[in-house]
Amino acid sequence: MKAMEQTLARGQQIQDNCSAVVKKLRAILHSTEEQLRVNKKQALFLTQLAAKTLPKGLHCLPLRLSNEYYALSQSQQQFPNQDKLEDPKLYHYALFSDNILAAAVVVNSTVTHAKDPSNHVFHIVTDKLNYAAMRMWFLANQPGQGTIEVRSIEEFTWLNSSYSPALKQLESQSMIDYYFKTHRASSDSNLKYRNPKYLSILNHLRFYLPEVFPKLDKVLFLDDDVVVQKDLTPLWKIKLNGKVNGAVETCGENFHQLRPHACGWAYGMNIFDLIEWRKQKITEIYHSWQKLNSDRLLWKLGTLPPGLITFWNKIFPLDRSWHILGLGYNPGVSHKDIERAAVVHYNGNLKPWLEIAIPKFRGYWSKFVDYDQAYLRTVTSILSAAPPPFILVCNSSHPPPPPIFFCSMP
């Protein structure tokens, strides 16, 4: 009996100990879950920060290019073949970007795969800050037999807040407060909407293609985070059957309050019929929706939501092999799909020129960067191999407070 009592007493003690252990494990689990939540929030913040932070190399390169551009004579600053810029029989590309290296990759990859580069014309629009640098880059790196035009968005004097509701909204006090008041930053859960690209009218210029190209009938719009892998000439031969925008559809996505179960489509590579655009008054439709969204209740920021609405029922679906998305956020994009695609798109935060890029996808982009080019010889880069990003050597032995950098000039 005594032995039994001792055994039962030990069992009771073990049970009491188990209850204590369970309570302790529950406390640890709760603490771990809370720490995981904090870490996820911090990771999201750091990813967004990395996505919108300009690497030193991409800061220094425009400074050096601008310095050399203004040393040229006026005749040396001109591009050849300017008579081709308004010829509707040629293949015209619209590229709106403030990223010189990204724009160079788009042009290089397109020309490389074009069957007859002499018939391809690239219209690049950038901002005033990068205008001289962008021109200098393409003056020094002519795209073979292709034709280049580089313009500043400031040249489009018609694009002002009295004409464009989007520009009026971007210049509003509420928008300035949203981006530059620190107390708003700490309370904003949608960090992606605080990316500076949303402040740039370059992002909205895609809705004014007929005004930008008044004498053209068709234009192929390319984002600056794409790489072209095949000849795109056949796109101009596709009949859009009265539609305005030839694009790859993205069915199965959830577009929330816009149309929950509808198919969307992808920006990044779009063939636009400017004749139908003018006839169907697409820009006016865009303006009407922007005015309805003046309080930003329909959508926050960006061009995809107004694009989905403006071009509703005006999309001609292209075969999916023309344009593959996801290389800037989805490591699961298959190698087979990438290889068969005419255009690969690094949409998302993990851009190929950033350190946070998905390593296995970076090579598709970096192979079109010419590291033997004079302006890139001081670049320390293993983009073609592994994770570190493109870095242009800057003299930072006594660096001032960020974001100012000193760049070595020859």
Please spell the DSSP secondary structure of 204-257, one letter per residue.
Answer: GGGGGHHHHSTT-SEEEEE-TTEEE-S--GGGGG---TT-SEEEEEETT---TT
Q: Residues 39-47: contacts with CB within 8 Å, 24+ apart?
A: 44/191, 45/191, 47/349, 47/356
Residue 50 CB partners (closer than 8 Å, separation 6+)? 349, 354, 355, 356
pLDDT of res. 403 = 40
> Is omega for the bond preceding 388 within 30 degrees of 0, making it cis?
no
Is 392 domain-assigned? no
| Residue 405 tokens, joined | 């950098």
Residue 134 CB partners (closer than 8 Å, separation 6+)? 65, 100, 103, 124, 126, 150
Is 312 domain-assigned? yes
DSSP state of 296: S
- Domain residues for the domain of 236 are 54-180+191-380
Q: Is residue 373 domain-shared with residue 353, that is, in the same domain?
A: yes
| Residue 106 tokens, joined | 């788009």
Q: Is residue 16 domain-shared with residue 140, that is, in the same domain?
A: no
Q: Is residue 19 domain-shared with residue 96, that is, in the same domain?
A: no
pLDDT of res. 368 = 94
Phi, psi values for residue 358, rounded to 5°: -70, 115
Q: Is residue 240 domain-shared with residue 137, that is, in the same domain?
A: yes
Is 390 domain-assigned? no
Q: How far apart are CA 377 and CA 40, in angstroms?
A: 39
pLDDT of res. 406 = 44
pLDDT of res. 245 = 97
Q: Is residue 24 domain-shared with residue 142, that is, in the same domain?
A: no
Q: Is residue 113 domain-shared with residue 29, that is, in the same domain?
A: no
CATH number of the domain residue 295 falls in: 3.90.550.10
Q: Please, what is the Cα angle at 107 between 233 and 275, to 5 degrees?
A: 50
**Do 316 and 243 form a contact (C-beta atoms < 8 A)?**
yes
Q: Which of 199, 244, 239 is nearest to 221 (CA)?
A: 244
Does residue 60 sit in helix, strand or coil? helix
Is 269 domain-assigned? yes
Q: Is residue 316 domain-shared with residue 226, that is, in the same domain?
A: yes
Phi, psi values for residue 246, rounded to 5°: -90, 115
Q: Is residue 61 domain-shared with residue 45, that is, in the same domain?
A: no
Q: What is the largest CA-CA distance in the chain?
A: 111
Q: Could you list the pLDDT tens digit for every one of the 410 residues in the chain?
A: 888 888 887 777 776 677 777 888 888 888 888 888 878 777 766 665 555 566 666 678 888 899 999 999 999 999 999 999 999 999 999 999 999 999 999 999 999 999 999 999 999 999 999 999 999 999 999 999 999 999 999 999 999 989 998 888 877 777 767 666 654 444 455 555 566 666 678 889 999 999 999 999 999 999 999 999 999 999 999 999 999 999 998 875 554 455 556 678 888 999 999 999 999 999 999 999 999 988 878 887 778 888 999 999 999 999 999 999 999 999 999 999 999 999 999 998 899 988 889 999 999 999 998 877 777 765 444 344 433 444 444 443 333 333 434 455 44
Residue 77 CB partners (closer than 8 Å, separation 6+)? 69, 135, 139
Domain count, the chain: 2
Is 148 domain-assigned? yes
Is 387 domain-assigned? no
- With 0-12 / 13-18 / 19 or more C-beta atoms within 10 angstroms meaning exposed / middle / buried, residue 273 is buried
pLDDT of res. 391 = 41
Is 362 domain-assigned? yes
| Residue 64 tokens, joined | 């050096």
Is 102 domain-assigned? yes
Q: Is residue 13 domain-shared with residue 103, that is, in the same domain?
A: no
Q: Is residue 210 domain-shared with residue 292, that is, in the same domain?
A: yes
Q: How far apart are the first and last CA of the chain?
A: 96
Residue 84 Cα to chain centre, angstroms: 28
pTM: 0.80
Q: Is residue 216 domain-shared with residue 164, that is, in the same domain?
A: yes
Q: Is residue 197 domain-shared with residue 79, that is, in the same domain?
A: yes
